[in-house]
Amino acid sequence: MATNVLQLPEEEYILPGTRSCSGCGLALAYRHILKALGQKTILTIPASCLTVLHGLYPSTSVKLSNINTAFATTAASASGIVAALKALGKTDFTVVGVAGDGGTYDIGIQALSAAAERNTDFIYICYDNEGYMNTGTQRSSATPMGAFTTTTPTTKLEHKKDMLAIMEAHGIPYIASASAAYPLDLYDKVKKAKTIRGTRFILVNVPCSPGWGFPTRDVVKLGKLAIDTAMCVLHEVEDGVFRLTGRSRAMARSSKKKPVADYLKMQGRFRHIDAEHIDLLQEWLDQRWTRYVARHQLCEGGAEASKAGE
């Protein structure tokens, strides 16, 4: 059963006064991620916006144990922590690596792939703000086509990398996508991931006001519009079984999806995108959405047939 807001733990693991930007989607998502993880958690994070949120030693705004690691080594660090806990005979901690899209899609993918191949027992959470946002808004391979960044001043020409498909190809037991705009869905997915052993991967869409160019008050509105246009699709893959979740599942049932132009026009980074590239992006989204819905219906039909045969 889905968690409602009254059922969320009262314990807060982020103290007031973080160093994150005003209206940061990551801060909203991280608050609920930590509520789901609880006290018995060891975090490891690379250089990133999240390092900024945590603060400068000896002060921090986060009440959980954390190791700051090098940009490429989040999964390697998490693997080492898992091995150390095993050597000490400690079995009641959850090890969690949290990195941005730059530290996951680009720089950290080698260590993550190696750990996933071994099915090392940790949760890896990638918060996707679609660029290197704390170092000057450079392009990453998660940046969508048509977006302006400081390293794509004439807009990016390639579609974003399908990191979820790459992780699924490793055959790990749990994969999910979530959004800062739907924190209860995110909370439930992290709670579920805690109950599963092996490598678990969760990708979280986090709108970034300074990097994307929208008013801070619109962070949730834009996050929801990302779902409504299928720029971000909420789903899970559990032991190979795919299913849409939350708002994306409701959209599949109603066959309603908003045009991507509604999403683009709210952001300064798409100010210079032309009609041709909007059409190309819409076509790419439509094709991808069709595949998601078809796969959901196939798995859902299989599950119902399995129940009928019991």
pLDDT, position 307: 55
Q: Residue 43: what pLDDT?
A: 98
How far apart are the two ends of the chain, measured CA to CA in Å?
A: 23
Judge whether residue 299 has pLDDT over 90. no
User: Which pLDDT does position 1 carry in this prediction?
Assistant: 78
Q: 72-76, 273-277, 296-300: which has the minimum mean pLDDT?
A: 296-300
Please report, rounded to a whole number, the percentage of residues in the chain having pLDDT higher than 90: 92
Report, as an integer, the average pLDDT of 268-282. 95
Q: Dump pLDDT digits (tens) for 171-226.
A: 999 999 999 999 999 999 999 999 999 999 999 999 999 999 999 999 999 999 99
Partners of 236 in the β-ladder: 176, 243
Question: For 260-264, what is the mean pLDDT?
Answer: 98
Rounded average pLDDT over 105-113: 97
Mean pLDDT, residues 118-129 taken together: 98
At residue 308, does pLDDT exceed 90?
Answer: no
- pTM, two decimal places: 0.96
Strands (E) located in 101-167: 123-128
According to the model, what pLDDT value does residue 309 have? 52
User: For the residues 263-281, what does the mean pLDDT come to?
Assistant: 96
Instruction: State the Rg of the chain over Cα.
Output: 19
What mean pLDDT value characterizes the chain? 95
303 pLDDT more than 70:
no
Among residues of the chain, what percentage have pLDDT more than 70?
97
